[in-house]
Amino acid sequence: MADGFLFIDKPRGPSSFAVVSAVRRAFHVKRVGHGGTLDPSASGLLVVALGSATRLLPYAPLEPKGYSFGIRFGEQTDTLDSAGTVIKNGGSVPSRQVLLATLPSFCGRLMQVPPEYSAVKVSGIRAYHVARSGRVPIMRPRPITIHALHLVKYDELFGEAQLEVTCSGGTYVRSLARDIAEALGTCGYALFVRRTALGPFHVDKAIKIDICDIAKTPLVPSGDVLRGMSRIAVGEEQKQRLIAGGNLPFTEAPGGGALPVATTLAIDRDNNIIAVLEPSAAGYFHPARVFSTRLCDSLHKRS
């Protein structure tokens, strides 16, 4: 059974679902998931979990997210990227100075309207299904956070800018490109979008599925991905109790009963992850996720 993570540099073209399907076939494993969807026209870092590791995806440190993206000013497409049909043109091209002066206004906590062609559900239906049917989905603004936004280079002659952004989950870079253009009194779309980072993980360390035999790629152990989480070592009796769904009093954990405040991993003597523990105000850890099969904590303990 394959358990662990893959860090994949997704090329433009295939959907995130197609990449997951390719991994499922290569490893002959049914349970495969990913953290953070990339549009087919986007490239970059995609974190894929296999087997029991899929249950750890909610705890993986996949924020903030980093992207490199381009904006073409003067035109807008229906999908807000280069894969769409041009629906507006003739817009002005801003000067470099005006563009630089506008970018700081997009840093901080903002309300953003997702693209009409997106996986956001509108009355239970994916927005892109509504848009493709010829109707206009009602897209409501959602809170996002832009931590940093920088101009990398700008070709004013062609009206094309390259930028880098660090942002929260739920941010649509295509919408950001649209909004920057609108703030400059023109229109624009995302010429390209490439995800460069998810939390501490960078695309430079990812594998390229178009040139690699995925099945021969070593999986990254779950403990390496969750290296920043607190953890406690448990004995055999405690291990069996947790596997059965029982609670672990704080007084039995290393530290002598100090009140924990964070989600914690329970590790057995063989350095395997036994459970994800949530602290309770009642004075015990509750096993939110339990792993009765071997789920290695460290690369050095892999078999």
Q: Which helix (H) or strand (E) holds 17?
A: helix 16-27
Mark residue 9 as left, alpha or beta (left: phi above 0; alpha: psi -120 to 50; beta: remaining): beta
Rounded Cα–Cα distance for residues 297 and 273 (Å): 6
Q: Which residue's structure tokens are 């596997």?
A: 243
The residue annotated as part of the active site, out of 3, 39, 81, 179, is 39
Assess whether 155 carries a catalytic annotation.
Answer: no
Tokens read off for 67:
């992207």
Q: Name residue 228's amino acid.
A: G
Write the CA distances from 264 to 47, 165, 229, 243, integer angstroms. Answer: 22, 31, 6, 15
Distance (Å, whole) CA 183 – CA 91: 13
Strands (DSSP E) along the chain, which ranges? 4-10, 32-35, 43-50, 65-73, 75-77, 86-89, 108-112, 121-122, 125-126, 142-155, 160-167, 188-198, 201-202, 207-208, 230-233, 248-249, 264-267, 273-279, 284-290
Residue 110 to residue 168: CA distance in whole angstroms: 11
Stated length of the chain: 303
Specify the 3-state DSSP secondary structure of 229: coil
- One-letter amino acid for residue 12 of the chain: R
Answer yes or no: are the C-beta atoms of 73 and 161 closer than 8 Å.
Answer: yes
Q: Is 167 helix (H, G, I), strand (E, B) or coil?
A: strand
Active site members: 39
